[in-house]
Amino acid sequence: MTSMDQRAVCMTCSDVERLTSVGRESAGKRIASLLTATWDKLLLWQYRAQERHNLAQLDERMMKDMGISAADIERELSKPFWKN
């Protein structure tokens, strides 16, 4: 191999290493983004479950003060935690 050929091969190897590094960073960012989105969704589901639990604790006077009926609460409580 001539020195020109060796330099071309080295540049190619260098390019591959750089691109692989960028690919790893990009994959890491995608994983971090996915984990963040998953965590946010879990927190939202927990919030909904807690709010529905709080609704279930209301008495007639509280419902009247808020302007909601027992049927409204029952409808909300019948929803699964992942539904809005």
The pLDDT of residue 4 is above 80 = no
Could you read off the pLDDT of 19-72 as tens digits, one per residue? 666 667 788 888 999 999 999 999 999 999 999 999 999 999 999 999 999 999
pTM over 0.85: no
- pLDDT at residue number 27: 81
Report domain extents, the chain. 3-77
C-alpha R_g of the chain: 28
Q: How many CB atoms lie within 10 A of CB 21?
A: 10
Q: How many CB atoms lie within 10 A of CB 81?
A: 13
Contact 56, 77 (CB under 8 A): yes
